[in-house]
Chains A and B, each alone.
Chain A
């Protein structure tokens, strides 16, 4: 054999031997359009910290099948056009497999691009019912129940606590607020609950005196607020309690951070709501992952942090399963891997093992505000929406 042919054979052999090592060192890049400024910054900062912390835990333990995670993100100011710019910038400069988006508008806008690329699976802060449709949004998911499922969880709890109760919904006149109203009507009917009143308020309104009068006249046993972070919930609760109303007040995920509820003051005592995750300080059951978070941060971590953390867990689990199956990290394989998750242990972040059938994690629990201890305490067992 000629020398040149020997050299070719040797080089080829070396290439084969070195290829797995090179592949093992290839990073898995995860991108994010994160609202570090703007109206949603309170959540964005927490989400970012949750994502970063879990990726660090995974990298410190050797990565995913030997491949380290590199997390790249851009601030969006919670503006969809800036979020898209961040997506273009990050995907243009990196080979991204997984992505975190910051809003429903972004999820919807970027969806055709995700379908066109076919290489990225995305999760995000949006819990909009619309996104929980694997046919329309095949490359996306959310690390919690969508808004309709959250309303379903609240109504199931109400029906169990007080059958045939009178329920009311107060929602903001926005896409966010209107999202679960139909589900509220249908589920109330299905569970034998009576809809006392539906009240719509202008987004950001503070003076709600006329709406309070309307609510007081309807005299519901339970009042659900949706489409707000905080205002005008305290105004409603305070004025209703002053007028002697015995209604129980409830909220959905974005209202339910401990620090937000505690801002309601005395009036907020007993305020309930649906939470997909265990609170940072909830030690009512064994939760090794929460213990890890407490070790990392001795101070309270908010609920968006937990959402970011669980999203990171699901990203990593999907990537791990895809790589174990020997498949490339593209949207189709990653989503199939995500949907293969059955009875997954979240390390106590969620009190029951989770199964992801569609685009959501349809689990939640009712927590109640205890103003004496300044904590949210469990008011129900974990409720899984089938």
Chain B
């Protein structure tokens, strides 16, 4: 029954990865940029949630929404200041800037606030234990899954049913043609960053509620792993990011379950390298041949 237990843990962890991965994959799909700062947006979301719960004493759902709003603004700010001037620069320049922005957020945050970790209060959400097939399932992990699924459904709705979603799909397909059709490309890119960052902020809050401990450098490893998840599912493809995130969470939990918990962090990167070598376009991606 240990196995089912670990699977449940894996799905909870995986849904957090999936939420972060969605932001990565949306941004990459539109501007072809690996937004390294995305993991730090996740961190900021966790802290906003923490302060709104402990200082402002507002309930969980409102804190979640507040964190998402702050992160959306923050994401747009990053895009406007750092990435927009680089829209026509080389990919390498954009990548290096993204690394720079990520470090600036991390260490700027430490400089302002200090590096000490914080602990989410334990009574944010009621905790019940449900017994299912002999495994103990925490109600919190169900809630995490529930929140993630709801957010993903909202995202699917936005991307496929609204005007801005249509604009996003058009820009990611061909930015120049979209511009010729009268789509405001800059605004579309900004809203992509806003939506992706809001999802990362939500992931930050539920990460804090579930894993309790948060710190300024907490975004680095989940950020990288979420990127792995995005690549695993096929970068630029939304359902791919969800499946990739869940799959990666389950793989990590299984590695722990078989007694290699110290190798857990390595597993994600082994998965990354294997997927890049054997299936570079990901599980859901189509192989595209480069043309001159």
Partners in one complex: no
